Amino acid sequence: MKPLVYVTRKLPVEALRSLSKIATVKMWEKANVPVPRDVLLEEAKDATALLTMLTERVDEELMNVCEQLELIANMAVGYDNIQVDYARKRNIIVTNTPDVLTDTTADLTFALLMATARKLIEASNYIKHDKWTTWSPFQLAGSDIHHKTMGIVGMGRIGEAVAKRATGFDMKILYYNRNRKPSAEQKYNAMHCSFHELLKESDFVICLAPLTEETKHLFNKEAFKQMKQSAIFINASRGALVDEDALYHALTTGEIAAAGLDVFEHEPIRSNHPLVNLHNVVALPHIGSATLETRMKMATLAADNISSYLKNGEVITPV
Ligand code: DGY
């Protein structure tokens, strides 16, 4: 009998083609709707491997239901949706999808920075809502990007790719990371500094650190207080790195100038979320890696991790 693989979201068959040759692949078929928890618990129980998304909580309860589970292949570089310590206890391997999304996510991060600094969404709406009646000297005047200081919190692969883009804008690059990154220092002239220094000196503070116990609400009241009043905060990592009440306070009292947010603490958010209606916020629905090419590569890599494991016991990108 072929091993069972349960896929928690509808994915293109091409991504699963080679996996389907060696496994029975069951998939949640409703497009754009996450699998309900009770269905997941029932459908996944005989699975040897799960192909999951960040919308699924892969916790002790789910792993306990899946007695034969050997592998969780997450279709994301982040894996804070998975209780990795419990998986380890159970000898369940966890994989993610690094590298294939690096440039795409860096592009979006930079696009979000530009949209926020130059008020692109507000400016586009200006025309759509018929507010453009005349040209004025300071109408929709934003902040320059070139020659400014970018502070990257979390200098992983995506952080480095953002730094690379920033060099094209003649930006000075500071970074705060657990470990020094000599390659980024050499290639992009990035300077390692303390969190405090980064907040104090940066015109753009870019959050790209992974969500862990230590980084939860890293951007709190004290953090925003240390930023420049002209600072623009960009988050393309995970919403829970930010205390959203503190960010709201900082944005509405002029403690910082603006924010570009691709992620929120409790996704999906609705249009009545307090941050979304602020004129100085550009909000996106977690689309960092959302290009057709990259999402296909992520789906294929997640499936290939499972195929590789089923064929030879080795995975390609373990976390
Ligand atoms: C990731 O991969 O972690 C992104 O947030 C989802 O594309």
Neighbours of 56 (CB within 10 A): 22
How close is the Cα of 74 to the center of ligand 1, in Å? 10
Distance CA 193, CA 178 (A): 10
User: First vs last Cα of the chain: how many Å apart?
Assistant: 29
| Ligand 1 mutation pick, 95, 99, 101, max ligand atoms within 8 A of CB | 101
For the stretch 153-185, pLDDT in tens is 999 999 999 999 999 999 999 999 999 999 999
Our answer on whether the CB atom of 76 is closer than 6 Å to any ligand 1 atom is: yes
| Ligand 1 mutation pick, 9, 11, 53, 54, max ligand atoms within 8 A of CB | 54
- Nearest residue (by CA) to ligand 1, atom 6, is 76
Neighbours of 266 (CB within 10 A): 9
Our answer on whether the CB atom of 299 is closer than 6 Å to any ligand 1 atom is: no
Q: Does 286 qualify as catalytic in the annotation?
A: yes
Our answer on whether the CB atom of 98 is closer than 6 Å to any ligand 1 atom is: no
Confidence of residue 7 (pLDDT cuts 50, 70, 90): very high
Q: Does 43 qualify as catalytic in the annotation?
A: no
271: exposed, middle or buried (C-beta count within 10 Å: 0-12, 13-18, 19+)?
exposed
How close is the Cα of 167 to the center of ligand 1, in Å? 24
Which DSSP symbol is given to 169?
Answer: T
Our answer on whether the CB atom of 289 is closer than 6 Å to any ligand 1 atom is: yes
Neighbours of 30 (CB within 10 A): 12
Choice among 29, 60, 222, 267 that is catalytic: 267
Our answer on whether the CB atom of 111 is closer than 6 Å to any ligand 1 atom is: no
- Nearest residue (by CA) to ligand 1, atom 1, is 76
CATH match of 4-100+292-312 with 3.40.50.720? yes
Alpha helices for the chain (secondary structure H):
13-22, 37-43, 60-65, 84-89, 102-117, 120-128, 157-167, 182-188, 195-201, 221-226, 244-252, 292-312
Residue 309: the pLDDT is 98
Our answer on whether the CB atom of 74 is closer than 6 Å to any ligand 1 atom is: no
Residue 65: the pLDDT is 98
Residue 275: the pLDDT is 98
How close is the Cα of 289 to the center of ligand 1, in Å? 6
Mean pLDDT of the chain: 98
Residue 241: the pLDDT is 98
What is the residue extent of each domain of the chain?
A: 4-100+292-312, 102-283
Which DSSP symbol is given to 296?
Answer: H
Residue 232: the pLDDT is 99
Q: What is the 3-state secondary structure (H, E, C) of 83-148?
A: CHHHHHHCCCEEECCCCCCHHHHHHHHHHHHHHHHCCHHHHHHHHHCCCCCCCCCCCCCCCCCCCC
- Nearest residue (by CA) to ligand 1, atom 4, is 76
For the stretch 71-98, pLDDT in tens is 999 999 999 999 999 999 999 999 999 9
Choice among 9, 165, 286, 295 that is catalytic: 286
Average pLDDT over residues 257-268: 98
Q: What number does CATH give the domain 102-283?
A: 3.40.50.720
For the stretch 223-237, pLDDT in tens is 999 999 999 999 999
- CATH fold match for the domains 4-100+292-312 and 102-283: yes
Residue 273: the pLDDT is 98
Residue 200: the pLDDT is 98
Reduce the DSSP state of residue 174 to 3 states and report it.
strand
Residue 54: the pLDDT is 96
Our answer on whether the CB atom of 158 is closer than 6 Å to any ligand 1 atom is: no
For the stretch 116-126, pLDDT in tens is 999 999 999 99
For the stretch 237-247, pLDDT in tens is 999 999 999 99
Q: Does 267 qualify as catalytic in the annotation?
A: yes
Judge if pTM exceeds 0.85: yes
Our answer on whether the CB atom of 78 is closer than 6 Å to any ligand 1 atom is: yes
Our answer on whether the CB atom of 206 is closer than 6 Å to any ligand 1 atom is: no
Alpha-carbon separation of residue 316 from 27, 98, 114, 305 (angstroms): 22, 10, 35, 5
